[in-house]
Structure 1
């Protein structure tokens, strides 16, 4: 949790205005950072020596402005603490005098109070009193007048309290009831004062701790973002020398808390201080739980109202279905129409004899139904994938090797066997690597160190960010990479001048580079998993890198050039702020994760030569799963956080592909296409399928395009006069990641289109994707077709 949230959620509600204004100081730091970058940009052409002197003068002025704001906050904290301390210490002195009153000389009756309910909330501590005796502040300053006490009210209140407890508590009540009602009520009032004072002193101690930590945090942020050195000097000479934060002050406060505990122990727990502390802390805990939950709920409510964070209560447009007068939302209506279209197509193709064979007809109906459902997303993609195994078995589309229809038992076994393969296991292993690299900050550490060396020139910073995004996409998937990269570039974005085109250019560059990075390794995207599933033999990591890396590197440079040409970020932003590298030391856990990751990747690359030992890449994928979960690097929550929707989608696609192949439909379609393309050279066939899958991937999604088209491509390649199935499948699979012309073309683009500036205005529009993403998609596809074809031919595909 960010410290600003920690401060707000743990502050005493009544004292909120007297805490360090952490958010206000943080905004001032960001403003100073932005002004500093603008000054550098304006004076970049000066004489280096003069520019350096100017920069130093600017730093001094910035430090003075920040120190002035800090001084005001420190004075505010000092004044409040001094006032509250004097007030509470005076109350404690009065409490100590009252504890020596003759009214408390008889210790027999009061000792029964230790059996009272010690878990009630401080706000309800007046349950022992009549409603007229309820205190109105943190603590009761004087006992209530005796003539205002109604004996019957006291008895009823005490009986209600003790009715919830055991027989021991009832005996205690009887003992207490035997004492004078007035004297007993004074004891209860005094006990309430002790509890209230203990809570108030404990809150004052928390006030000390939170503000001291707040000054330390904000000074650390200042030094990090503005290259200052205030943390050591100001914290030591000003903060720690201020009375609220001096060691003697804290010791004095702790002694006063101990005095309250001793007074309470002498009167109510037979001198046992530990029992007194236990009761006090129970009351303190319940008070904090009650107060903090209330504050938490209020703050979340305010955030949603003022910032529209995550939840918008705006009414959705409703449509009324004719004849039945049923109101539905626009989204539900669209989904229902798409589902009905898919269902109608499914029923029609079930009834039409298209191929002269019932298994092929039924499988074609299932294929069309799944394609429409996936393309329109009438229901979530993974939900459709879960429906496929259910439909395959009753439709009886699965065949044995001799052409006979499989029984339901054999068909279900075959379907579920196909849904968990070596490729799925490799996908899980990739998730484990990504989770460990992300959780322990290795990916962020690497990215920040690289980006900190990118300089301040917009074109080089853009290229560095695109390179980092593409590289990280190889290991932590191109779904998580944009989110990480967008957080890393915030120091750059927040210091840009008004009207700068660099922010949208940078965000778009990261998104497009993440899409291209989706083709770089077998685990970088779901479409690569589907591609490998349709290749036989498995290409292995070595062959994949040999083809994908040159293609992706050239595509990155092409996309970078298009962004510079179209958006021209250097015109509005000549100089940028720099990303600060993380200064955390490399821990043993991080070293262990790095070792396991490198070892796993090395084994994957050498899988072909180690086939006699491991058999497949799926077996190697068990290494990171066991090593990370077995050693506690990853825990059950990390396992639950895996992208199981992607796993289920891949499994559903595999089951459908197996059914289409088993029914004979895939061979029929492939033979029909082969008759039209068999006279063409493999390069021309690759061009046709690449353009087809590029269009599909641009308008639908990369994964859906791979699920539907790659099995057909594989069968066409198998039945060519000179078979080239792996060449066509891998080429078409790489093109899936090149489809990035629209915001809906992939997860990275979807993340980018949702990015907004501080005013809530989106950085990007659909037109931005069309102007840069479409030409980048086309040129990347050309690189894949020609350069990829040459490399794949060289390695024997």
Structure 2
């Protein structure tokens, strides 16, 4: 039996169609039983007939489901082509494209599975069984091409490649709001441009055009115009600051200009975040902002060595180790199995299902990051979302709909409540472990000595657990999900009850790695740092074949590059003396204040920045300054201030743009109505209150715990 293909089939199956895929494991088991009978001399022709019957039955099941879905999706495409004057059609076309591609993948997976089963049967039993081609994909491919042509004609200036990119990655259309990309099994919302006249076609990708003598010289899509303007303003301000003497020192002046330039590009995302990071080493060396310990300008060769040395550190290795753990836990279904096991015991009352999914999201964020957790959790609640009626279809007048956030034309109150709960819990979960979010990785980089995992848990877990419960209470208060839908469908555990050897190995390696991270302080004389421990899962997972090259390529390398750019910039502002100069000026203002008050000031500053920009960018820009201020205090408390500010980054969750989980949630829409589950108002009503409470916990409880630990 091909265990690898069995895992591949389960991992790539569309969750709603699980019961309609071929029973690969069952057919493979029958072949094994036939082989055993042959070896014992009890195999008869009737056994082969029974296998052939089972094989035909599975093929009929797959063909029948394909035919049904084919008819449904083709009819939907015909209907949408007749409704192209409706601006909402763009979202529905993207949704339909995803369904067609899922159906195409369904055919390929089953075709591969049947081929493998027949090959296995022939090899083990010395037979020459042949099967007819499962399904012809010609008609399906032609309909996919028809959808692309229609979409390109209406929305992409007849550009098929552009239409393919937008349909394949629909979340790219919301880059104007926030440049982070997510993928998941739920429908994603795209930005739609419509006209007010229903009898006219919708406006298609409007552009800003410059013409000369009647000829078009340049045409810039309006959707990208803001990015172009922000980038141009950043460059102009950068050039202006290079010529202004703000600090009385060339290295500090140039480094300040570079810091402002990078901050603007990161905050506005005029170019991708990681692209800004890639430009920083070049600009740091070119501008000559690095200085030696004696204060002399550093030679370019020495500066480049110092910059690149700062970009690969123990923190980066810990980040890669975290990615490896997340990849293994996800690939072999351990994270999903754990989540569904917990949710299956949550009952059917919405309040307990909500609490369970929030706790699961918070817990999984500790290990597979709060970037991947929301997508997984959203897929887990799909069976619930599919069975929830829209609010406008609810005829029960006794159900009081929450007036704060949900209108009568919104999707189900319970669906919105569950999705928002996952997003906010994932944001809170971003503070739970050193690898749970990019901002934590940056925070750890600026703490000396690096905190052990046990220390981090002692500070972060009480804050995060209390915050999740408060958020849950607020969601119940605002949405009243028990009134809207007294009972929900029960989530069933996924996967086989049998645990494989590979899953045992993955869990063992994960637990050993976490144990070593927690004992980092005790084992420092042997292992040195957490980065060295991180090489253990990387070696074991890839060395044993548990993970492969495709898994390595799937790591969030953009996050790695972003963190490396922040470290390079941190090295530059430290070496140039700019960071110390800024810290001294801030220290003069806050030195007379109590450490708790200073923590409160920086926590609120970080919270606001993280809410309106992003968690990661807030950490990149503010954490280095916080560390330097902490070192300059009469009684230094750099680790206390840095960790407190880092935790406050994850507390920012009051807007859709506040973090990866919120961005993932705001793009989800009801596939039937085409309406988004959440609006900005949903995040403001519950997210802002949760953010304030979480930040207060960091300032009070967090301060008390960190101070007692000697920070």
Give your verdict on TM over 0.5.
yes
Residues 303 and 627 (structure 1), Cα distance of their counterparts in 2 relative to 1, 3 Å cut: farther
Per the alignment, residue 301 of structure 1 pairs with: 145
State the structure with more CA Rg: 1
Aligned counterparts, 1:477-492, within 5 A: 477-492=369-384
In the alignment, the residues of structure 2 paired with residue 360 and residue 482 of structure 1 have an alpha-carbon distance, to the nearest angstrom, of: 42
Match of 1:762 in 2: 676
Matched with 1:390 is 282
Cα distance in structure 1, aligned partners of 2:252 and 2:17: 65
**Among 584, 591, 602, the residue aligned to 1:678:** 591
State the partner residue of 1:627. Answer: 540
**Shift of residue 708, structure 1, vs aligned partner:** 0.2
Between the aligned partners of 2:145 and 2:347, the Cα distance in structure 1 is 42
Secondary structure at the counterpart of residue 539 of structure 2 = helix
Distance (whole Å) between structure 2 residues aligned to residue 205 and residue 786 of structure 1: 65
Structure 1 position 350 matched with structure 2 position 242: yes
Cα deviation for residue 294 of structure 1 reads 2.5
What are the residue-to-residue correspondences of 1:239-388 with 2, within 5 Å? 292=136, 294-301=138-145, 310=168, 315-321=204-210, 326-388=218-280
- The 2-side partners of 1:362 and 1:716 are apart by 21
2-structure distance, mates of 1:766, 1:606: 42
Q: Does 1:714 align with 2:617?
A: no
SS of alignment partner, residue 657 of structure 2: coil
Question: Aligned residue for 1:29?
Answer: none
| Residue pair 1:697, 1:704 contacting (<8 A) in 2 also | yes
Quote the offset at 1:617 in angstroms. Answer: 0.4
Distance in 2 (CA, whole Å) between partners of 1:24 and 1:675 is 64
2:666 counterpart of 1:774: no
1:304, distance to aligned residue in structure 2 (A): 5.8
Q: Alignment partner for residue 536 of structure 1, among 412, 424, 448?
A: 448
What is the aligned partner in structure 1 of residue 317 from structure 2?
A: 425
Query: Contact between 2:434 and 2:441, CA under 8 Å: does it hold in 1?
Result: yes
1:741 counterpart residue number? 654
**Residue 698 (structure 2) aligned to one of 784, 791, 794:** 784
**Do residues 211 (structure 1) and 69 (structure 2) align?**
no
1:590 aligns with 2:486: no
Partners in 2 of 1:734 and 1:433 — Cα distance? 22
User: Can you give the 5+ residue segments of structure 1 that lack an aligned partner in the other structure?
Assistant: 7-21, 27-203, 219-253, 255-273
The aligned runs of 1:685-704 (5 Å cut-off) are: 685-704=598-617
Q: Of the candidates 391, 415, 420, which is equivalent to residue 503 of structure 1?
A: 415
Give secondary structure in 2 for the equivalent of 1:328.
strand
CA contact (8 A) 1:303 1:309 kept: no
Task: Name the CA distance, whole Å, in 2 between partners of 1:497 and 1:607.
Answer: 51
After TM superposition, the structure 1 stretch with the greater mean CA deviation from structure 2, 312-321 or 737-746, is 312-321
SS at match of 2:220: strand
Q: TM-score under structure 2 normalisation? A: 0.72
Of residues 357, 373, 379, the one that matches 1:465 is 357
Alpha-carbon distance in structure 2 between the residues aligned to 1:397 and 1:563:
50
As a proportion of its length, which structure holds more helix?
1
8 Å contact from structure 1 (residues 629, 635) kept in 2 = yes
* Distance apart, 1:332 and its partner CA: 2.3
Q: Distance in 2 between matches of 1:551 and 1:348?
A: 44
**Aligned partners of 2:226, 2:593: CA distance in 1, in Å?**
42
CA contact 1:717–1:726 (8 Å) conserved in 2: yes
| Cα-to-partner distance string for 1:496-546 (whole Å, 9 max, x where unaligned) | 233131100000000000000000000000000000001111011111000
**Larger CA deviation: 614-623 vs 771-780:** 771-780
Output the CA distance in 2 between the equivalents of 1:665 and 1:331. 37
What is residue 79 of structure 2 aligned with on the other side? none
1:637 aligns with 2:550: yes
State the match for 2:522 in structure 1: 609
> Contact 1:693/1:735 (CA < 8 Å) preserved in 2?
yes
Q: State the alpha-carbon separation in 2 of the partners of residues 380 and 23 from structure 1.
A: 36
Q: Are 1:519 and 1:528, in contact at CA under 8 Å, matched by a contact in 2? A: yes
1:572 aligned residue: 484
Q: What displacement does 1:292 show?
A: 3.9
Rounded Cα–Cα distance in structure 2 between residues aligned with 1:627 and 1:640: 17
Deviates more, 1:321-330 or 1:301-310: 301-310
C-alpha spacing 1:217/1:303, structure 2 compared with 1 (3 Å): closer
Query: Comparing both chains, which one has the higher relative contact order based on Cα–Cα distances under 8 Å and sequence gaps of 6 or more?
Result: 2
Counterparts in 2 of 1:607 and 1:685: CA distance versus 1, 3 Å: same
Matching of residues 9-28 of structure 1 within 5 Å: none
Are residues 502 and 529 of structure 1, via their aligned partners in 2, closer, same or farther at CA, if it must alter by over 3 Å? same
CA contact (8 A) 2:613 2:658 kept: yes
Residue 549 in structure 1 maps to residue 452 in structure 2: no
Asked if 2 retains the 8 angstrom alpha-carbon contact of 1:690 and 1:731, the reply is yes
Structure-2 change in CA distance of 1:216 and 1:349 (3 Å): closer
Secondary structure in 2 aligned to 1:320? strand
Contact 2:205 2:223 in 1 (8 A): no
Give me the TM-score of the superposition, normalised by structure 1: 0.65
Superposition pairs of residues 89-108 of structure 1, within 5 angstroms: none
Alpha-carbon distance between aligned partners in 2 of 1:518 and 1:24, rounded to the nearest angstrom: 31
Distance 1:411 1:498 in 2: 61
In 2, distance between residues paired with 1:649 and 1:704? 9
- Is the contact made by 1:382 and 1:649 (CA closer than 8 Å) also made in structure 2? yes
CA distance in 2, matches of 1:742, 1:750: 9
In the alignment, what sits opposite 2:80? none
Deviation at 1:779, TM superposition (A): 1.1
Task: Please say if 1:656 is aligned against 2:569.
Answer: yes
Tell me the alpha carbon deviations over residues 127-153 of structure 1, each in whole angstroms, 9 at most, x when there is no partner: xxxxxxxxxxxxxxxxxxxxxxxxxxx
Tell me the SS of whatever aligns to 1:211.
helix
The 8 Å contact of residues 333 and 495 in structure 2, kept in 1 or not, is answered as no
Unpaired segments ≥5 residues, structure 2: 10-15, 21-52, 68-117, 119-126, 152-165, 171-189, 193-201, 392-411
* Structure 1 residue 302: Cα displacement: 5.7
Contact 1:742 1:766 (8 Å CA) reproduced: yes
SS of the residue corresponding to residue 455 of structure 1 reads: coil
Q: Per-residue CA shift, 1:691-749, capped at 9, x if unaligned?
A: 11111101111000000000000000000001000000000000001101111111100
Secondary structure, aligned partner of 1:673? helix
Query: Is residue 715–residue 725 contact of structure 1 (8 Å, CA) maintained in 2?
Result: yes
Distance 1:783 1:688 in 2: 14
CA contact (8 A) 1:497 1:573 kept: no
Q: Which residue does the alignment assign to 1:450?
A: 342
Tell me, yes or no, if structure 1 residue 512 matches structure 2 residue 399.
Answer: no
1:491, 1:579 within 8 Å by CA — same for their partners in 2?
yes
* Alpha-carbon separation, structure 2, partners of 1:591 and 1:664: 51
Instruction: Give deviations 1:205-224, integer Å, cap 9, x for gaps.
Output: 99765115668999xxxxxx
| Secondary structure of the corresponding residue to residue 546 of structure 2 | coil
How many residue pairs get aligned? The number is 543
Instruction: Give CA deviations for 1:300-347 in whole Å, capped at 9, x if unaligned.
Output: 336668999546897211122477852211122111100011101110
